[in-house]
Amino acid sequence: MFDSFLQEKIGKSLNLTPTCHYASVTEPKEYLIFEHLKVQNFSVFDKKRLLDEDHILVVLRNYAKLHGVSYALKDQRPDVFREVPRIIGERTVWCYKTLTAQASVSSSERTVMDYNRGRIDETTLKRFEEVGSRFYEFLEEIAAYDDRHKVMVHGDSWLTNMQFKYDDL
């Protein structure tokens, strides 16, 4: 939707994501098959290292593009924009309800709780547990939230979900 909108407006696409050739949401064999980016000199940043300023700027500039196009789409094609959160929200909630995601959320919640016990007050920890217990409701509320400043964001901003292109490989 974003690329079609940009093509119409300025004759370019965002070019922020690889082409998805095939996808399946049929349980238990969910998969995504994207174009192979390594042949174009893209690679995943070493997650054991800290991002330097150049990498941080690349990420922030691309997020700014995504957010800007999202905001423009909302302003100029509100009917189209309203469909995006509904579609993404349904898929996001579905993804997080899969067994693997549930285990990941539970593991993350335990890690946060264990790490912070004794560091922050019990009231905050209790609130965190309450939010965790209604995590999927929370995702549905986020997807349904409507505000004039709402934009699409990268919903899985792990460093391993980003690739950088290096010209000197």
Tell me, what's the pLDDT at 102? 59
Q: What per-residue string of b and e applies to 131-140 under the rule 16 or more CB within 10 Å gives b?
A: ebeebbeebe
Query: Cα–Cα distance between 89 and 118 in angstroms, integer?
Result: 35
Tell me, what's the pLDDT at 60? 93
Tell me, what's the pLDDT at 55? 92
Tell me, what's the pLDDT at 25? 72
Tell me, what's the pLDDT at 86? 66
Q: Which residues pair with 31 in a beta bridge?
A: 24
Task: Tell me which residue range forms the domain holding 72.
Answer: 2-165
Q: Count the residues in the chain.
A: 169
Per-residue pLDDT in tens (0 to 9) along the chain, 169 residues: 888 899 999 998 888 888 888 888 777 787 888 899 888 889 998 888 888 999 999 999 999 998 899 899 989 998 888 887 666 655 555 555 555 555 666 666 777 777 777 777 888 777 777 777 777 777 677 767 777 777 777 767 778 888 998 876 4
Tell me, what's the pLDDT at 121? 80
Tell me, what's the pLDDT at 89? 57
Q: Are 70 and 154 in contact (CB under 8 A)?
A: no
Tell me, what's the pLDDT at 124? 79
Tell me, what's the pLDDT at 168? 64
Q: Are 81 and 67 in contact (CB under 8 A)?
A: no
CA neighbours closer than 13 Å in the CB half-sphere of residue 114: 6
Q: Which residues pair with 71 in a beta bridge?
A: none
Identity at 114, one-letter amino acid code: D
Q: Are 146 and 22 in contact (CB under 8 A)?
A: no
Give CB contacts under 8 A, 24+ apart, made by 94-98.
94/25, 96/135, 96/136, 96/139, 97/136, 98/27, 98/30
How many folded domains does the chain comprise?
Answer: 1
Tell me, what's the pLDDT at 167? 77
